[in-house]
Each structure stands twice: as C-alpha cells, then as structure tokens.
Amino acid sequence: MKQSKLFYKTKKEDSKQTDALSHALLTKAGFIDQLSAGIYTFLPLGLKVLKKIEEIIRQEMKAVRGQEILMPALNPKENWNQTGRWESFDVLFKVQGANKKDYALAPTHEEIISPLAKKVILSYKDLPLYLFQIQTKFRNELRAKSGILRTREFLMKDLYSFHTDEEDLEKYYSKVAESYTKIFNRLGIESFKTFASGGNFSKYSHEYQTLTEAGEDIIYICNNCKIAINKEIKGEFKKCPECGKPDFREEKASEVGNIFKLGTKYSLPFDLKFTNKNGEEKPVIMGCYGIGLTRVLGTIVEVNHDDKGIVWPKEVAPFDIHLLEISESAGKIYKELEDEGFGVLYDDRQDKSAGEKFAEADLIGIPLRIVVSSKTLEKDSVEIKRRNKEKLELVKIKDLVKYLKS
Amino acid sequence: MKQSKLFYKTKKEDSKQTDALSHALLTKAGFIDQLSAGIYTFLPLGLKVLKKIEEIIRQEMKAVRGQEILMPALNPKENWNQTGRWESFDVLFKVQGANKKDYALAPTHEEIISPLAKKVILSYKDLPLYLFQIQTKFRNELRAKSGILRTREFLMKDLYSFHTDEEDLEKYYSKVAESYTKIFNRLGIESFKTFASGGNFSKYSHEYQTLTEAGEDIIYICNNCKIAINKEIKGEFKKCPECGKPDFREEKASEVGNIFKLGTKYSLPFDLKFTNKNGEEKPVIMGCYGIGLTRVLGTIVEVNHDDKGIVWPKEVAPFDIHLLEISESAGKIYKELEDEGFGVLYDDRQDKSAGEKFAEADLIGIPLRIVVSSKTLEKDSVEIKRRNKEKLELVKIKDLVKYLKS
C-alpha cells in the first residue's frame, strides 16, 4: 500500500483522553478514530490489526474443534426473561422495535445459544459440542473509560461447550486454558491465568490477565508458579492454590479473556437436556470462554510500545515492512517485495522530510523498516532496522529478498 | 468436516413461513436458524457461505481501490440530527444509554463517514478517496418479511467515494457499476442494472435487481439491451434510456445492490470540503454503493435450487465436495481429498440409510457428490455426480485427484 493513498492522519497533538496510553497511541498513529465515548471506528491500519487478531483466534478455536456460527446482536426480551437477566444484567442495552417488541443488544449469548443447542442435542451421541462466534457485542456502560479497553461496542470471540458430565467439561476446560495461553503468546501479550469468582456452579472461574498500568484489575501473582488470583477473591487464599507457597506480588492488569464453568446454569432454564446411555434425561453441562478482541488490540499496544510509538508484535502487525523512500524512488523495490508476498507500507510521500518519515514509522510501529536513499543506493543497498532493535544494517538490494526470508 | 460432528439438523417439515423459498430451504437444510421474526443465526453451513460471499465482495472492492474500515453500529443522535434523518429516516432503531445519550443503530453510515472523512480530506491532493466496510446493520422494520431477504439485522457492504467534481464521480460510478456486474456474476445471481429514483442530486440511481418471485420489486427490462427500469419511476420512460426501443417485459425482482450519486447531500451538512488547485474551498462530491450480503445469500438460493433442494454456485458453496460413504468407509479418500486442499463434507454417519444420505446431499446442495460404496469399490472406483447434472460417472480412485483438478 502506498502511504500517500492510505486513509489515516497522524496527529501532532496527544489525545486529551489520558487514562489509557493505547487510546492515545492508536489515535495519534491513525489506527482508530473515536466517534463518541466508548465508540470507535477502525481505520484501515487498525482494521488490519483487528483482522490479524481475529484470524489467530479463529485458528486456535478450530484447533480445539470449535465450529463457527454467527448469532444476532438483537435478542428478544423473552430469551433474557427466561434467565431473569433482562432485569439483573447491569449493562444491558434495551431497544423497542416498531413492532412493539423489546430487544436486548447482546453483551453475551448464553440466552441464545442454549435454546439453539436444544434444537440439535437429543442424546449423548450429540455431545460434546463446541460452538464459537466472533461478533460485535454491546455494553450499556454508564461511563466508558480506558479508551478502547472498555467500550460500549466491541468485537468479541465467545466459545460455548456442551457436555454430558462435569468430567468431560473439566477436560475441555483445561484444553481451552492451554489454547488461551497459546493465543495470548501469539498475540504478543503474556497473560497470567488468574483465579476469579466462579458463580454458583464452580467455586472459581479463570481470567487471563495481562500486566499493564491501564488495567482495571488488581491481581496477586504467585512468585513461584506464576498462577495469579484476582483481588476480588484474594481474601480466601493464604497460599497459592497451585504450589502451596505464600509468596505473592501485587500487580495491575487488564482482563483479556476468561473461561467459566457454567454447569447447568443455562441448560436448566432453557430445558436443555440429553438422553444418556441408560435412556435417562439429564441436563447438559456447559462451559463458556470469552476473548475481547478490541480490548486485546488495546492491550497489545499497552505492553508493546516505547516513547516513540507502537512496537507491533510480528503476527499482528498491520504490515510486515515499512519501506521509506528518502530522496530516491523505492518503487521498484516496493513492487518486488509485494510480488514476493510481503505486506508493505510504502512511504512514497514527496512532501515529507526524512525526519518526519522516520518519526512516523516509529509511531506506527511496523516491525521492519527499510530505507532507500541516495546514500544507500550508492552502495547498491538498503538500510534495514527492526522496530525493537537499535542496530542499522546495510543489505545489498540483490540479496534483499533472500535476507528477508531467512 | 465429518457430517456426524457438524452442528446442524435438517428438518423433515417445511417451514411455516412460506413467503420466501430461500428461508424454507436454508432452514430445512440447516444453514440458518430463525431466532425471531427478521432475526437469524447463521449455523456453520450458512456462515461458510456468508464468508465466501464476503470474500468475493472484498476482493472486488479492493480491485476498485476501496480501503476497508469498520464503523460502529451505535451512532450518536447528534450525527443523525445534523442531516435531519434522526426524525425522517423511517426504520431507525433508537436506543438510550445509561449515560442518557441517545443512539441510532445504523442502517447506513453517511452520517458517520462524512465527518470522519473531514478529518483527513483537506485539499484536492487527498481526493479521490474510496472507503468501504462489511458490517452488521439494523432496520427497525414494522413487519419482517420474505425470510432473510428483508431482516431487522443484516450484514452489508457499503462503499463511499469522495471526489473533487462530478466528472470524477461519474467515472468512478461507472467503474463500480462494472464491478457490481462482475460480483453478481461470481455470486451466481445474474442481475439487471435498473434505473431507480435518484434523490435530489442526480436524476437517477441504479439498483441491481435479480429476477425472483420472492422479490419485492417490479422492474421493466428492455428486451433489446437488458437495461431495466424500476416500476416506481417507469411512468416517465416511454422508451429504453439506453437503446431507445420501447420494448419492455415486466418481472418480479429482488434488489441485491444499489449505487447512488450523493453529490453534496452529506458533505454540506457536515461541512466536508477541500481546497482546489486555485486555493478555493469547495464541497466534496460523494457517491455510495451498497450490497446486502444476507439478502444476496437468500437470493442465491431463490435462483439456484430445484425441487430437491439448493444448488450452490461453485464459488459460494459451503464445501467443494460432499463425500458419501455407503456401507464402506470413505475415510482414506476423505483424508486424501482434504490433504489436497478440497473442502469436503464427509457423510460418515452410520445411522442413516443410503436414501437418507442422497436426499440430504441434494437438499444441502454441494456442487459435487462423491459416493463410496461396496459397489464402487468392487471396481476400485467412486461414483461422481454434479448437483446440477443428472449424469453419474465412475472414476478410478487412483485417478480421482487428477480428475477433480482437471
């Protein structure tokens, strides 16, 4: 993509909203645009990152045998009445249609997926079953805060599992727990599996918490085994539930995912049951597993930046290479790199100084910067710098593709 | 994908909602599930088709240099007040937040993209600009009808273009018109470019209409040049606006896309202007171009089915191959075909008769059916049948991949 054509505009000024650095950096670098408090547009750069996050999560959900579906945001009131959450869910957007019917804008989909699963699940042969979606959700927050970490509208992955018994749920729950660790590592945000309150079925649920000053949670991390405990339930724990040692440190963190044993909480109100091997009817045992993609995007920036700008982890970077032309055209190299399959942002702008181009490349944060200038061309070379390293390297143009692929 | 694991359930009964065959067939074959009138869940089969439609449209939007962004569904009332459409738009869902702010659930995004573009467009050098999104939209219909052809929540592609003058808009408008013809051909739904009312800037807009009894529109097609005219404006036209001949036929059709010259309708209220080469400020000239993906999916089924079920066009089929095992395992062939990169639905179910499997394969409508049975294995062969042909063919297993790739 030629940067002269890219729809974005970096801002000279820092954003006024200072409670989350990710908001400021993503806005300043032209990845997102705030429409209203807690409501954002993803500009081309931001959407590219969001799509990469989405694809990583989709791959890993398929690896744990999740089948992708897409449920609607508009949910009939009756479904939410069935569980009592029409009244009790604290951040439910409610809207009335011209048909005088009331709808919720779904912040989660247990009320939809349980009666849906009931249409297919009859016997133990239909279980286990794993369904996920990547879908836009809504939360009627009184106050939006922390930039894109807590918004009124956001993209979320929610996986739901259905089992014959608790043992099977337990096995799958562990599998998803491993999957989550893998996902957050791929996304460039180390996360701590954190004990949290569990509702009435299970004593605990688990959150995945990434350390950042912008986070809303306080967690206690075991210095021995890296398991963490959310402050909300810390009182109970004198010792680490994993290793038994009493040695914790307190940290601020952002919840990027959670996994939850639902048990029969939703299968009972929706009469979701199956016939077991003995011909008896039993309620289906459920689990649910969420990751907030929009919040992940913000958290990646919270933990991957320096004083010059964003430092994108390779797997989620909007482009592989930022190609800067200084005084001499880099058009031929641009074409060659694109033909070789690299994603290249080509700074072909004629009205920007070298200094402006360098500063903006650091702000945008693409992993690899390649500079073409009269100075490098004198040596038939380009200058290469990684965003997260200081070292500058001259590489012969004829060796460039080989160098990049090695 | 093993069919024994696929989340779906074909229905024996026909759907009660009979005003659109696509609704009945897609529900019966397990592609979609109606949650409430005009509100649907896409099951794995349906979502696969929707994603293929999405990818075709995305490719063609990039081919006309569109940059993809993602705007929010929650729109502040102020944006819609700015154009007067908070009051005048007839199917606007309105919702109040806990913060006492009013929001619209966007059915279209001129009110958002115009002030967004204003942040980037300063001079003629920033034009032309083409932005699109593929995003969930809402319409507060009094009555939902025609199954998934007219819903309260739906996926839509909307492209917006920004120009210095009408001539440039005209050029791009023609380019998108060609792109739309290509898109609908790829999607397997021949469409007629149809003159429709144009608002106050341009005398006419154009709709893309696909002939189907389930359609809500009446169009008049020129028997000479295939241009059509919507009944709403037909009165003016004694002769075809393209070829001048007065020879029309009347047809029922479904509007799958539209293209619209907006002119300054939205740039004026949002003060979206640019500085031209002479240093003068001028309003930006806009166009907009929509395709309803959910409706396209329904329309594909309306025009591609027979009395046994759906007949998916190749490019949007949920799988390439439906592999039926009758009495003998087809597991080895399944693995080989998947390894070769084919998308295969493998009917491995042990509790279904051959007759049930054949009937369901016809209902689901995957383009190519491969049967493995003791009869075919006697000849070291499989039986191949295309969904849209009657002919059965025996192909040696050792030649199968070569046959499929030829």
For B32-43, the pLDDT digits (tens) are: 999 999 999 999
- B250 shares its domain with B323: no
Place of tokens 């740039």: B267
Judge contact between A160 and A287, C-beta under 8 A: yes
- A180 shares its domain with A294: yes
Contact flag B6-A67 (C-beta cutoff 8 Å): yes
The neighbour count for residue A60, using CB atoms within 10 Å, is: 19
Q: Does any domain span residue A313?
A: no
In this complex, the residue of A7, A33, A74 whose CB is nearest that of residue B153 is: A74
| pLDDT over 70 (residue B28) | yes
Q: Does any domain span residue A83?
A: yes
- B228 shares its domain with B335: no
The neighbour count for residue B362, using CB atoms within 10 Å, is: 20
The pTM of the full predicted model, rounded to 2 decimals, is 0.97
Measured between alpha carbons, how far apart are the two ends of chain B, in Å?
A: 24
CATH label of the domain that carries residue A46: 3.30.930.10
How many domains does chain B contain in total?
2
Contact flag A67-B7 (C-beta cutoff 8 Å): yes
Residue B9's pLDDT is 82
Q: What is the pLDDT of residues B332-385, one digit of tens each?
A: 999 999 999 999 999 999 999 999 999 999 999 999 999 999 999 999 999 999
- A96 shares its domain with A204: yes
| pLDDT over 90 (residue A292) | yes
Size of interface A-B (CB pairs under 8 A): 134
- B118 shares its domain with B205: yes
**By percentage, how much of chain B surpasses pLDDT 70?**
98
- A226 shares its domain with A86: yes
Compute the average pLDDT of residues B151-175.
98
Q: Does any domain span residue A6?
A: no
- Domain end: B242, B276, B306, which one? B306
Q: Does any domain span residue A137?
A: yes
H or E element at residue B281: strand B281-283
Global ipTM: 0.97
Contact flag A47-B36 (C-beta cutoff 8 Å): no
Q: Does any domain span residue A150?
A: yes
Domain of residue A119, residue span: 21-306
| pLDDT over 60 (residue A366) | yes
- Chain B CB contacts of A40 under 8 Å are 72
| pLDDT over 70 (residue A12) | no
Contact flag B97-A6 (C-beta cutoff 8 Å): no
- Domain end: A254, A278, A306, which one? A306
In this complex, the residue of A95, A112, A143 whose CB is nearest that of residue B95 is: A95
Residue B322's pLDDT is 98
- B108 shares its domain with B151: yes
- A140 shares its domain with A229: yes
- A278 shares its domain with A354: no
pLDDT band at residue B19, thresholds of 50, 70 and 90? Answer: low
Residue B13's pLDDT is 63
| pLDDT over 80 (residue A18) | no
Q: Does any domain span residue B16?
A: no
- B103 shares its domain with B218: yes
Residue A264's pLDDT is 97
Compute the average pLDDT of residues A275-298.
98
H or E element at residue B332: helix B331-339
Compute the average pLDDT of residues B109-127.
97
The angle formed by the CA atoms of residues B291, B295 and B301, to the nearest 5 degrees, is: 125
Q: Does any domain span residue A175?
A: yes
CATH label of the domain that carries residue A346: 3.40.50.800
Average pLDDT, chain A: 95
**By percentage, how much of chain B surpasses pLDDT 90?**
93
Closest-CA distance of chain B to residue A133, Å: 10
Q: Does any domain span residue B9?
A: no
Instruction: Report the range of poorest mean pLDDT among A9-13, A119-123, A171-175.
Output: A9-13
pLDDT band at residue B15, thresholds of 50, 70 and 90? Answer: low
Sheet (strand A344-347) strand order: A344-347, A321-326, A368-373, A381-386, A392-396
In this complex, the residue of B5, B50, B69 whose CB is nearest that of residue A42 is: B69
- A176 shares its domain with A239: yes
Residue A17's pLDDT is 56
- Pick from A95, A130, A155, A293 the residue to mutate for testing the B interface (most B CBs within 10 Å): A95
- A64 shares its domain with A161: yes
| pLDDT over 70 (residue A101) | yes
| pLDDT over 80 (residue A151) | yes
pLDDT band at residue B129, thresholds of 50, 70 and 90? Answer: very high
The residues that bridge with B263 in the sheet, in sequence order, are: B286
Compute the average pLDDT of residues A72-86.
98
Find the residue in A nearest to B126 (Cα).
A5
- Domain end: A249, A283, A306, which one? A306
